[in-house]
Amino acid sequence: MLRSCASRLRTPGALRGRLGGAPPPARDSRPPPRSFSSEVIYVDHSLPNPSWSKDMRLLFDQFMKKTEDGSWKRLPSHKSVSPQRTEEVKTFFPDAKPIKEHMSQAQLFPRSLEEGLGFEYAMFHNHVENRTVCIFQGGPYLQGVPGFLHGGAIATMIDSTVGMCAVLAEGVVMTANLNINFRRPIPLCSVVVINSQLDKVEGRKLFVSCNVRSVDEKTLYSEATSLFVKLDPKKSLT
Amino acid sequence: MIRRCFQVAVRLGRHRVLPGVPQVLPRLNPNSAFGSSTDSLVSRFCLKKTDLKDYALPNASWCPDMLNLYQEFLEKTKTDGWIKLPSFKSNRDHIQGLKLPSGLAVASDKSDWRIFTRCIQVEGQGYEYVIFFHPSKKKSICLFQPGPYLEGAPGFAHGGSLAAMMDETFSKTAYLAGEGLFTVSLNIRFKNLIPVGSLAVLKVDVEKIEDQKLYMSCIAQSRDQQTVYAKCSGVFLQLQLEEESSQ
C-alpha cells in the first residue's frame, strides 16, 4: 500500500489526488480533501491525453491491467506540490528563505511544459517487489543532438523514477548519487520504459537501480544506479 | 575504428549490444582523424552574423550575482582568451551545414523542436544560463540560475535540472574541445540543494581525450565557493559530423 505520509523532495507531490480514467482499486475512495484555496484543483497528469502516441497508450493499458489485482498501483502526478507536502518538507530546512512573491508560480519540473511538448509520463508502483515503472514519452522540446532526446532529460526522468521508488519505501529522501550509463541515444518523441528497483537498504541509505528500455524490450537505452539518503528530522540540512 | 570503440564502450558495462539490433554507428574512414581544430569548430558554432536569438544574454530575471559574474567574464573574453557561447533555440542552429552521419540521422525533423535547456522560454522561469569556454585550456564556466518551473523540493531546484545543466555544459565543451557528441556516462554526487532563483557556478574541465572519448569533470558551487552543490564526472563519445551535400 502506498504510504499516505510518504514525502518526496524531488518528485511529484500529492499521493492523494483525483484518480481519473479506469479507476484502479483505491484504498481511499472518498473524494480528495479540499486544498487551502478553493480555487486550486490538483489535476492528475499521469493519464492519457491527445499527445500520447499509440505505443504510450498501449503500454498504459497494459499496466492498468496489472493494477486490477492490487499488486500494482498507478501513481497520480500533479503540477505542484500540495501545501501539506510543502509543510512536511519545510521541517528539514528551518533556515530556508521564504519564497518571493513572483515565485509562487513554482511548478514541479517534469510537469512544467505544455501537453505533448515535454515530459509525458505515468508511473506505476509494485509495493511487494518495491519496483517503480515509468512509461515516458519525450516531446520535441527535450532535444539534445538533433533528432534525439537530451541526456539531461532522461537523467531527469531517471532521477524522478528511482526517487519515487525510494520515497515510497522509506519516506523523505534526498538523492546523494546518480550514476547513469548511456548505451544508445533515444530518438525524440519515442516511448521508453524506465524500470526501477529498490536493491537494498542499509541504515539510512537506499540503493536503487534502473534500466531504460524500448517498448518491445529489445533495445537497452541506459542503465543507472543511485544512492538516496533518508533525512533525519533531528539534523538540519543547510 | 569507431565501431570498435563503441563496442569497447558497451563491453565496459554489464550488457552487450543485443544481437539482431542494427549497427548504430556507420563505418568511418579510420584514417580521418578528429582533426577539426577547436578554432574552426568554435567559429562555425558561434555564428557571429545571424538573426537567430541568443538566449545567453542578461535579462530582467538575472539575480545580481549572475549579472556581476557575467560582467567579469565578459571582461575576460577581451583579455584572457575566454569566449561567450551563444545559445540558440535548437542545437541544429549551431551546426548549420552539418549533419549526423547517415544511418544515425533521423528522417523527419520538425522545425519546432527545441533544445531541452531552452524549453521554457518565459524569462526567469526555467533555465537561465550562459556558458563561457576557453579554447586553449579546454575548460568551461556555466552561470546557472534555476527558475521556479525547475522545482523539485519546494523552494529548491530539481536534481534532474542540475543533472541536465551539467550534461549540457559537458556537451558544449566536449563538442568544441574534440567533437564529442553523445553522452556515454554521467556520475553525479549531490551535496547540497540549490535554492530556486540563486546562482550556481559550474566549472567544467576536460581531463583527457582517449579512445575516441572525452573525459570531463564538473563542480557546481555557489559564487563564493563556500557551498558545493554537486560534483560530476562525464564521458562523451566523439563522432564527426558530415557536411550536408548541397541539395
pLDDT tens by residue, A64-115: 999 998 889 999 887 766 666 666 666 666 555 544 433 445 677 777 788 8
* Min distance A31 CA to chain B CA atoms (Å): 25
- What per-residue confidence (pLDDT) applies to A238? 46
The grid coordinates listed for A56 are 504510450
> In this structure, is residue B27 part of a structural domain?
no
The residues of B assigned a catalytic role are: 167
Separation CA A122–CA A64 (nearest Å): 11
- The mean per-residue pLDDT over the stretch B119-135 comes to 92
d(CA B32, CA B50): 31
Domain boundaries, chain A: 4-230
Q: How far apart are the first and last CA of chain B?
A: 30
Residue of A nearest to B109 (CA): A147
Average pLDDT over residues A139-160: 93
DSSP string for A161-203? HHHHHHHHHHSSEEEEEEEEEE-SPPBTT-EEEEEEEEEEEET
Please indicate whether residue B145 or residue A105 has the higher confidence score (pLDDT). Answer: B145
Question: What is the structure's pLDDT at A29?
Answer: 43
**pLDDT (0 to 100) of residue A58:** 94
Distance from C-alpha of A78 to C-alpha of A45, rounded to nearest angstrom: 6
Q: Please, which contacts does B30-35 make with residues 24 or more away whose CB atoms are closer than 8 Å?
A: B30/B1, B32/B240, B34/B178, B34/B179, B34/B212, B34/B238, B34/B240
B106/A146 touch (CB, cutoff 8 Å), yes or no: yes
Q: Does the beta-carbon distance from B160 to A10 stay under 8 Å? A: yes
Which residues in chain B are contacts of A96 at CB distance < 8 A? 155, 195
Tell which residue, A159, A109, A171, has the closest CA to residue A134: A159
pLDDT of residue B214 exceeding 70: yes
Spatial CB neighbours of B128, under 8 Å, sequence gap ≥ 6: B59, B61, B62, B66, B144, B145, B146, B147
**How far away is chain B from the Cα of A6, in angstroms, using its nearest Cα?**
14
pLDDT of B22-44, one tens digit each?
Answer: 444 444 443 344 567 888 888 88
Q: Which of A99, A112, A181 sits opposite B155 (nearest CB)?
A: A99
Beta bridge partners of B206: B216
Task: Count the alpha carbons within 13 Å of B131 in the hemisphere toward its beta carbon.
Answer: 27
Domain at B86, CATH number = 3.10.129.10
Cβ(A7)–Cβ(A171) under 8 Å?
A: yes
Interface contact A9-B152, CB threshold 8 A: yes
In a domain, B187, yes or no: yes
Query: What confidence score (pLDDT) does residue B27 get?
Result: 42
Q: In degrees, to the nearest 5, what angle opens at C-alpha A193 toward C-alphas A188 and A196?
A: 130
Residue B21 lies in a domain: no
Residue B180, in any domain of the structure:
yes
The packing angle between helices A151-170 and B159-178, to 10°, is 150
pLDDT confidence of residue A33: 47
Contact A178 B197 (CB under 8 A): no
| Ordered DSSP codes for chain B | -HHHHHHHHHHTSS-PPPTTSPPSSPP--TT--S---HHHHHHHHH-SS--S---SS--TT--HHHHHHHHHHHHHHHHSS-EEPP--SSHHHHTTTEEPPTTTS-S---TT--BGGGS--STTTSEEEEEEEETTTTEEEEEEEE-GGGBSSTTBB-HHHHHHHHHHHHHHHHHHHH-EEEEEEEEEEE-SPPBTTS-EEEEEEEEEEETTEEEEEEEEE-TTSSSEEEEEEEEEEE---EEPPP-
Q: What is the pLDDT of residues B224-243, one digit of tens each?
A: 999 999 999 999 999 988 88
CATH of the structural domain A4-230, one choice from 3.90.700.10, 3.10.129.10, 3.40.50.720, 3.40.640.10: 3.10.129.10
B121 in contact with A, Cβ within 8 Å: no
**Average pLDDT in the A39-63 region?**
85
* Single pTM value for the model: 0.81
Which candidate, A122, A106, A129, A103, places its Cα nearest to that of A47? A122
Least Cα distance to A136 among A148, A153, A152, A151 occurs for: A153
- Expressed as residue numbers, the domain containing B132 is 38-94+114-238
Position B51 scores a pLDDT of 85
Count chain A–chain B contacts defined by CB atoms under 8 A: 202
- Using CA atoms, how far apart are residues A65 and A72, in angstroms rounded to an integer? 9
Please give the pLDDT value at position A37.
46
Contact state of B152 with A237 under an 8 Å Cβ cutoff: no
In this prediction, residue A113 carries a pLDDT of 80
CB contact under 8 Å between B116 and A160, yes or no, is: no
Q: Specify the number of domains making up chain B.
A: 1
Which residue type is seen at B108?
S
Q: Which of B4-13, B72-81, B95-104, B115-124 has the highest mean pLDDT?
A: B72-81
The verdict on residue B224 lying in a domain is yes
Find residues 124-143 of chain A whose CB sits inside 8 Å of chain B. 140-143
Q: What's the CA gap between B63 and B170, in Å, rounded?
A: 24
Percent of chain B whose predicted confidence (pLDDT) is above 70: 82
Q: What's the confidence (pLDDT) of residue A114?
A: 82
pLDDT of residue A94: 59
* Whole-angstrom distance, CA of residue B173 vs CA of residue B167: 10
**Measured between beta carbons, which residues in chain A are less than 8 angstroms from residue B153?**
9-10, 89, 174
Q: Which secondary structure element, helix H or strand E, spans residue A122, and what is its range? A: strand A119-126
One-letter amino acid identity for B66? M
Closest partner CB to B15 (pick from A108, A220, A238): A220
Q: Determine the average pLDDT of the residues in A208-235.
A: 92
Averaged confidence pLDDT in chain A: 78
Say which residue, A84 or A192, is predicted with more confidence. A192
Phi, psi of B214 (to 5 degrees): -105, 130
- Among A84, A148, A149, A181, the residue to mutate for chain B (most B Cβ within 10 A): A181
Q: Is the pLDDT of residue A236 over 60?
A: no
Please give the backbone phi and psi of residue A71, each rounded to the nearest 5 degrees, phi first.
Answer: -75, -30
The mean pLDDT of B57-69, rounded to a whole number, is 95
The DSSP symbol for A16 reads S
